[in-house]
Homo-oligomer: A and B are copies of this chain.
Amino acid sequence: MKILHTRPRDDGFHMPAEFDRHYGCIMIFPHRRDSWQNGAYAARKAFAEIIGIISRSEKMIVCARYDDYDSARFMLPESVRVLEMESDDSWARDVAPTFVTNGSEIRGIDWGFNAWGGLTDGLYFPWDKDNKMARKLCDSMDIDTYDKRSFILEGGSIHSDGEGTVMTTEACLLSKGRNPEMSRDEIETELKAYLGAEKVLWLPCGIYNDETNEHVDNICAFTSPANVVLAWTDDRNDPQYEMSKRCLDYLENAADAKGRKITVHKLPLPKPVTITAEECAGLDDMNGEPTRTPGERLAASYVNFYISNGHVIVPQFGDDNDKHAIDILSRLFSTRTVTGVYARDILIGGGNIHCITQQIPMADRFRTGG
């Protein structure tokens, strides 16, 4: 593995769209007892269901700590590669590399990771195991890696349409816990240089009470070039209404890198989901403090889906809108099977299906062997 100090766009590399062809997908076997209730028992079952679906149409690599390797190997299909790797938690979207390609080769970007805000408003300490994973994942696959650890960024805070447009949120990327010394323009310059993009769409915000400082991947996603789904509620008394409305207004007045207007497809939210006292009791404390409070609203959203080669895997919450979300996405992803997975046990951890996955784009090196 070469550690590169150039910039992907200068080398002819860019980040493809998630709906472009994948070689595979990276996930991390959950273990953290203050993130996942009851020793991650229910979360592991939900992760395993998702892994099973993804592995039907792409190569699946699952990182497991030394202590969890045997459990992961036992629970997961034999076609899945289980890779020993220490981690602080299980959010592959945010700690695995962002992969870029020039059409034939593939490279990883090793962003800095500080648990969504470091000592300012991060969610746990320390985060050094997570921060080392991107480079180690590239090493294990013999993929060269751009060193960008000096810039704090999580994969969940960016989307690419693969055609020059990147989408993010101001709430997250301009937060005080990431790169506070950088201006919006300076951050945009880095995104363009590293993701090989010409235009950055800056949504103002994300989902209410989203503890990632409102990652874009919980509120909005590209479904094809110039088409996005936006998490939406018609309930004007819900604080989310104003947030989604601001994003809608922004998008309706925006154009992508190719000058196309963005078509916004509203994806209704489930009714507010709150954590129960029993669920809170199943979570370990963090430094003597409860990690969640009974009644706390969780950042549930159907937008937090993963697009695999064969499927779109969508969180389900036991809500009246579950089926409606699947129907809307089925119309937008006509060549894929849209499949729901009951995801309350992932939501309790603080994210959802998109947050726990990271796609590896297809490249010539994967076409010719293994």
Contacts and interface: CB of A to CB of B under 8 A. Distances in A.
A85 interface: yes
Majority secondary structure of chain A interface residues (helix, strand, loop or mixed): mixed
A81 B370 contact: no
A83 B140 contact: yes
Contact of A142 (B81, B132, B142, B368): B81
Copy tally for this chain in the complex stands at 2
Contact of A139 (B83, B129, B136, B368): B83
A41 interface: no
B82 A139 contact: yes
A136 B69 contact: yes
A78 interface: yes
Interface centre among A1, A84, A86 (most CB of B within 10 A): A84
A365 interface: yes
Contact of A3 (B78, B82, B83, B135): B78
Nearest to A65: B66
B86 A84 contact: yes
A146 to B, nearest CB: 14
A140 to B, nearest CB: 6
Interface string A329-368: 0000000000000000000000000000000000001111
A58 to B, nearest CB: 13
A132 B73 CA distance: 12
A341 to B, nearest CB: 25
Contacts of A66: 66, 86, 129
Nearest to A368: B369
A134 to B, nearest CB: 13
Contact of A366 (B1, B132, B369): B369
A2 B81 contact: no
Interface of A: 1-3, 66, 69-70, 73, 78, 81-86, 129, 132, 135-136, 139-140, 142, 365-370
Given A83-B140, A142-B370, A369-B369, 4 more contacts: A73-B135, A84-B86, A140-B140, A365-B369
The 8 A-B residue pairs with the shortest CB-CB distance, nearest first, are: A369-B369, A368-B369, A66-B86, A368-B368, A84-B85, A2-B78, A82-B139, A81-B142
